[in-house]
Amino acid sequence: MSTPPRQKRFTPADIGALKGVRPIVSLTAYTTPVARIMDNHCDLLLVGDSLGMVLYGLDTTVGVTMEMMIAHGQAVMRGAKRACVIVDLPFGSYQESKEQAFRNAVRLMKETGCDGVKLEGGAEMAETVEFLVSRGVPVFGHIGLMPQQVNTSGGYRSKGHSEAEQDKIRRDAKAIDEAGAFAMVIEGTVEPLAREITTTVKSATIGIGASPACDGQILVSDDMLGLFNEFKPRFVKHFAELANVIDKAVSDYAEEVKARTFPGPEHTFQVRPKK
């Protein structure tokens, strides 16, 4: 389904208004050149704290800092002219209090120019979400599997397999929705539950490992592009195999350097003849 070209940047309100109209296209972005490419196709670009694992080789997202999010948020904003850009609040930057969350959300928005922030959490974060939204900060929620809570939730496992888990996720979705989030990620959640939540909340739902019935979908761009061959989560589809392309390109480069066939005359600068 194609989207007509438009000059105006999508706002969080625009994203929310797409619920029930057409699927919302989202991807993570971390750099200017990639954001420029994705901007032509995506409604929303998320500068996710997944950058800690994808770009910095961290084991989890817990070690990501505000400074890292700001630097990459600024980079993505330089490349995105059309898509709504949301930046993750990293672990420890918002859980202490709603006031702490507001200070750091404002800092992210001021220093990057982004359109809003994302935070993880359900019912326990509803008061914070309402506090931010009432003060002019658009909030993108995140329920189900929450990577920032990996150390207390038993690892990266799908959610909603028991009645207790399902009830909790329902309560989380309702709380974040009523608090005013314009959208929420539903991650790693059993399909029927994600489908049900999508029909019961006003906020737009963005699925990742959830349901095709969600109002939109998001993937980590490096996963979608096939930049990692070691591990592929069940919910990821490789739309390209760039790891193989890059490996072949580097191999060819190395061979030509060793053989002294690169650089050739066309790649070097010669002394200009005197006039």
Catalytic residue numbers?
Answer: 187
- Return binding residues for 3-methyl-2-oxobutanoate: 49-50, 88, 118
Region of residue 160 (left: phi > 0; alpha: psi -120 to 50; beta: else): left
Region of residue 121 (left: phi > 0; alpha: psi -120 to 50; beta: else): left
* Sequence-distant (≥ 6) Cβ neighbours of residue 50 within 8 angstroms: 28, 61, 147, 220
- Return binding residues: 49-50, 88, 118, 120
- Return binding residues for Mg(2+): 49, 88, 120
Beta bridge partners of 183: 140, 204
Across 89-163, where does the E strand assignment appear?
A: 116-118, 139-144
* Sequence-distant (≥ 6) Cβ neighbours of residue 117 within 8 angstroms: 86, 87, 88, 89, 105, 108, 109, 132, 137, 138, 139, 140
